[in-house]
Amino acid sequence: MGASRVRLPAELGLTIALATVLHFITPWQMPQGGSYSLEMLPVFVFALLRGPVLGIACGAMYGLVDLALEPYLFHWAQVVLDYPVAFGLVGLAGFWSPRWHRLAGQDRVGAGVWTAVFPGIAVGALGRYAAHVISGLVFFASFARDLGQLPPVYSLAYNLFVLVSAIACAVAAAAVLPVLEPLVRGRGE
């Protein structure tokens, strides 16, 4: 009983800490906020191992840590959309957790990667992308006008860094999840 009461908060804390470290390893940074990184990877993995409720909570908590570390603030609603909501939506990958566990438990890891990991990460990444695009439509439209572009086109194009990052996260998750699955399956709860 004691181990299971400690294990989940420890996993959550380690996930957020690893996402924070990966946030600072960025091959490129966008001029008005955002960067290409693997910061979503730990949240994706946690969500796929623990499910959507814990995945969304973990992502939202990481979003608040990201906000505290490197805020890019213009309006209270943008703060909500770009941080806890955007990263919370990464946890939507957790809806594919039962499928991943079932297939991995049957030693069908390859099928689990194609039918659970990749679709889950795609939905989580699209959720984050949508939150950033909406934020961009509302609060960063002035950059688009200065560049002579329509705000929706600018926001859709600018936030593509999320989808590029998600591709790298999907490849890394496909390598990491099969290693972590036996550890999760073998826990005594």
Please write the tens of the pLDDT for every residue from 70-87.
887 777 778 999 999 999
Three-state SS at 24:
coil
Going by pLDDT thresholds of 50, 70 and 90, the confidence category of residue 111 is very high
Strand intervals (E) in the chain: 28-29, 35-36
With 70 as the cut, is the pLDDT of residue 142 above it? no
Q: For residues 65 and 50, what is the distance between their CA atoms, to the nearest angstrom? A: 20
Phi/psi region, residue 33 (left: phi>0; alpha: psi -120 to 50; beta: rest), is left
Query: How many H-runs (helices) and E-runs (strands) does the chain carry?
Result: 11, 2
Which has the closest alpha carbon to 52: 40, 44, 61? 44
Q: How many CA atoms lie within 13 A of 59 on its CB side?
A: 34
Going by pLDDT thresholds of 50, 70 and 90, the confidence category of residue 157 is confident
Range 149-162 average pLDDT: 82
Could you give all domains of the chain from N- to C-terminal order, each with its CATH number? Answer: 2-185 (1.10.1760.20)
Task: Compute the residue count for the chain.
Answer: 189
pTM for this model (two decimals): 0.90
Buried b (16+ CB within 10 A) or exposed e, 72-107: eeeeeebbebbbbbbbbbbbbbbbbbebbbebbeee
Residue/partner pairs of 32-35 with CB below 8 Å, 24 or more apart: 32/72, 32/140, 32/143, 32/158, 33/72, 33/82, 34/132, 34/158, 34/159, 34/161, 34/162, 35/161
Per-residue model confidence (pLDDT) at position 46: 97
Which has the closest alpha carbon to 151: 136, 135, 170, 161? 136
